[in-house]
């Protein structure tokens, strides 16, 4: 089959693509940024189409000759009218897929509760499912509850809440029942949908073998992670809004993403049927139980083998404009802070330090200042420093690094990070390794800031006096770390 995967650089899509390839299918991906797709190990095995899934002409172009369209897009955490935004995107895609003669759409959705008022997050998922099912293109809607897998946002919430809080005061939603499913079983089902009969146009509930409350999942996680049993005190006054803020403080998941996830936890999401298994065979060994799924996820985390994370998708509302070409850029002011120094280390050793920057390694200067900046960012709804890194030592385009994202990388030579923290403008940090004919290694560092309005200019001049401590210290300490490797 010729398949088209949207959301291929996100958490589920980035794992689905290699599974489709391994199953023998031809895979095409629709991406806005080709560099993000090229950073994946499967890039040379797929057809890459650059376009925007909200533009009908781009979707039609990507759908030419496609048998199965995988819809793995969502605007969670984007703010505004989520249901309307999702409806408009789904309608655009459905019409384009029908015009192009696509044989099937497969949509990964959320499980819809029975006889309960749905959260906005689940209502938006439900609306997309309705649009696709009415599109005239046979559609399979897989409705999942919490997905358990290394790097998923829901799993990261569960993990950090359980690990960091041996005792906690919790809202009533910890008693809501849910049916978690392992990411490996989700991927198995998505691949299996390729072979659905052409007359199948319906929703399917998908869940694992265990039905648990969120409290039981936290205790189950603690058991697998060999932590003491958690002490829980339930109170009725913590609203989803308040809960999302403390989730944002305790876990790496920012409040604007945590809120829709938390709001959905108040719903009972238990499968009403398991009809999908009439069409797709069970995975070898059967479905993965909750504790086994947690064990597999923790093993991947400990082995630094997490292929995709929730941070693989760009933060909604974060700046996405590429760095303007300077100095002839007509977009306005562009402030810079540039520093160059010689380093008594090989280019390889210097690059190893640069590529490992952030996360557990930190930023090599004034740790308290970075921590404070991260806390300020989280207070204003930004990601802060807790996103960390997907990989301990290697970066690819699109990776999140604390409150930065890798915009460009030339292996062994150049790294550009784009800021996703809350600032009144756009900011980048460039780190470059060089060497001359005499074998001298040089380290060039450049910070750039494009202010937005008067507040942006005031921000730059307010922080400029600290650049010597922050950027100067960072360059010195990165150089020292490289030299210590020699």
**pLDDT tens for each residue of 316-337:** 444 444 454 443 444 457 889 9
Predicted pLDDT at 304? 65
Taking 80 as the threshold, does the pLDDT of residue 87 lie above it?
yes
Co-location of 350 and 290 in the same domain: no
Phi, psi of 314 (to 5 degrees): -60, 145
Predicted pLDDT at 324? 47
Would you say residue 379 lies in a domain? Answer: yes
Co-location of 410 and 277 in the same domain: no
Would you say residue 308 lies in a domain? Answer: no
Co-location of 91 and 216 in the same domain: yes
Cis peptide upstream of residue 188 (ω within 30 degrees of 0): no
For range 121-149, the mean pLDDT: 92
Co-location of 263 and 164 in the same domain: yes
CA-CA distance, 357 to 40, in Å (whole number)? 20
Predicted pLDDT at 123? 84
Burial-class residue 369 by CB neighbours within 10 Å (0-12, 13-18, 19+): middle
For residues 149 and 115, the answer to whether their CB atoms sit within 8 Å is no
Co-location of 254 and 382 in the same domain: no
Taking 80 as the threshold, does the pLDDT of residue 289 lie above it?
yes
Co-location of 221 and 364 in the same domain: no
Co-location of 44 and 161 in the same domain: yes
For residues 439-469, one letter each, b for 16 or more C-beta atoms within 10 angstroms of the residue's C-beta and e for the rest, the string is eebebebbbbbbbbeeebbebbeeeeeeeee
Taking 80 as the threshold, does the pLDDT of residue 185 lie above it?
yes
The residue range of the domain holding 358 is 335-485
Predicted pLDDT at 239? 62
Q: How confident is the model at residue 9 (pLDDT cuts 50, 70, 90)?
A: confident
Co-location of 136 and 238 in the same domain: yes
Partners of 349 in the β-ladder = none
Predicted pLDDT at 329? 42
Kindly report whether the global pTM for this prediction surpasses the value 0.85: no
CATH number at residue 412: 3.30.530.20
Predicted pLDDT at 261? 72
Would you say residue 199 lies in a domain? Answer: yes
Would you say residue 226 lies in a domain? Answer: yes
Co-location of 281 and 370 in the same domain: no
For residues 224 and 210, the answer to whether their CB atoms sit within 8 Å is no
Average pLDDT of the chain to the nearest whole number: 86
Would you say residue 453 lies in a domain? Answer: yes
Co-location of 121 and 191 in the same domain: yes
Judged by DSSP in three states, 430 sits in strand
Q: Which of 298, 324, 355 is the C-terminal boundary of a domain?
A: 298
Q: How many CA atoms lie within 13 A of 424 on its CB side?
A: 13
Give me the torsion for CA of 45, 46, 47, 49, rounded to 10°: -130
Predicted pLDDT at 244? 65
Co-location of 249 and 396 in the same domain: no
Would you say residue 315 lies in a domain? Answer: no
Predicted pLDDT at 61? 94
Would you say residue 447 lies in a domain? Answer: yes
What is the Cα 299 distance to its own chain's centre?
Answer: 20
Co-location of 219 and 88 in the same domain: yes
Number of domains in the chain: 2
For residues 247 and 161, the answer to whether their CB atoms sit within 8 Å is yes
CATH number at residue 35: 3.40.50.720
CA-CA distance, 444 to 464, in Å (whole number)? 19
For tokens 């089902």, the residue is 189
For range 463-477, the mean pLDDT: 93
Which range, of 259-273, 291-305, 340-354, averages the lowest pLDDT? 259-273
| Sequence-distant (≥ 6) Cβ neighbours of residue 4 within 8 angstroms | 27, 28, 29, 30, 62, 63, 66, 68, 69, 70, 102
Would you say residue 313 lies in a domain? Answer: no
């Amino acid at each position: 089959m010729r398949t088209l995967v949207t959301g291929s650089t996100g958490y589920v899509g980035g794992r689905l693509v290699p599974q489709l390839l391994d199953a023998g299918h031809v895979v095409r991906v629709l991406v806005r940024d080709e560099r993000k797709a090229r950073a994946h190990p499967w890039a040379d095995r797929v057809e890459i189409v650059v376009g925007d899934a909200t533009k009908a002409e781009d979707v039609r172009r990507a759908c030419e000759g496609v048998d199965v369209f995988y819809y793995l897009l969502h605007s969670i955490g984007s703010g505004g009218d989520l249901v309307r935004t999702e409806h408009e995107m789904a309608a655009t895609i459905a019409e384009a897929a029908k015009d192009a003669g696509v044989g099937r759409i497969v949509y990964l959705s959320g499980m819809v509760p029975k006889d309960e008022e749905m959260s906005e997050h689940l209502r938006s998922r439900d609306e997309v499912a309705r649009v696709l099912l009415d599109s005239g293109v046979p559609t399979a809607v897989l409705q999942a509850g919490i997905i358990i897998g290394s790097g998923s946002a829901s799993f990261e919430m569960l993990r950090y809440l359980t690990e960091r809080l041996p005792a906690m005061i919790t809202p009533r939603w910890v008693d809501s029942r849910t049916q978690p499913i392992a990411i490996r079983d989700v991927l198995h089902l998505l691949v299996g949908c390729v072979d659905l009969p052409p007359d199948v146009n319906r929703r399917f509930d998908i869940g694992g073998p265990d039905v648990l409350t969120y409290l039981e999942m936290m205790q189950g996680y603690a058991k697998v992670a060999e932590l003491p049993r958690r002490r829980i005190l339930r109170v009725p006054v913590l609203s989803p809004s308040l809960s999302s803020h403390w989730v944002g403080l305790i876990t790496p998941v920012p409040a604007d993403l945590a809120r829709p996830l938390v709001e959905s936890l108040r719903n009972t999401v238990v499968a009403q049927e398991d009809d999908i298994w009439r069409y797709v065979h069970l995975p070898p060994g059967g479905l993965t139980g909750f504790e086994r799924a947690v064990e597999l996820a923790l093993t991947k985390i400990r082995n630094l083998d997490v292929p995709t994370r929730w941070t693989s998708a760009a933060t909604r509302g974060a700046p996405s404009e590429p760095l303007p070409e300077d100095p002839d850029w007509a977009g306005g002011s562009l402030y810079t802070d540039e520093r160059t120094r010689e380093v008594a280390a090989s280019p390889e050793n210097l690059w190893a330090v640069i590529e490992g920057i952030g996360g557990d390694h930190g930023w090599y200067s004034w740790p308290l200042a970075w921590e404070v900046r991260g806390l300020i960012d989280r207070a204003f709804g930004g990601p802060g420093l807790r996103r960390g890194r997907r990989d301990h030592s290697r970066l690819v385009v699109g990776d999140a690094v604390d409150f930065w994202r890798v915009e460009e990388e030339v292996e062994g030579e150049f790294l550009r990070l784009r800021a996703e923290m809350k600032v009144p403008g756009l900011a980048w940090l460039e780190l470059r390794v060089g060497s001359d004919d005499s074998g001298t290694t040089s380290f060039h560092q450049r910070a750039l800031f494009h202010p937005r309005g008067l507040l942006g200019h005031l921000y730059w001049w307010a922080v400029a006096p600290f650049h010597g401590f922050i950027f100067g210290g960072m360059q010195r300490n990165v150089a020292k770390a490289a030299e210590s490797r020699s």
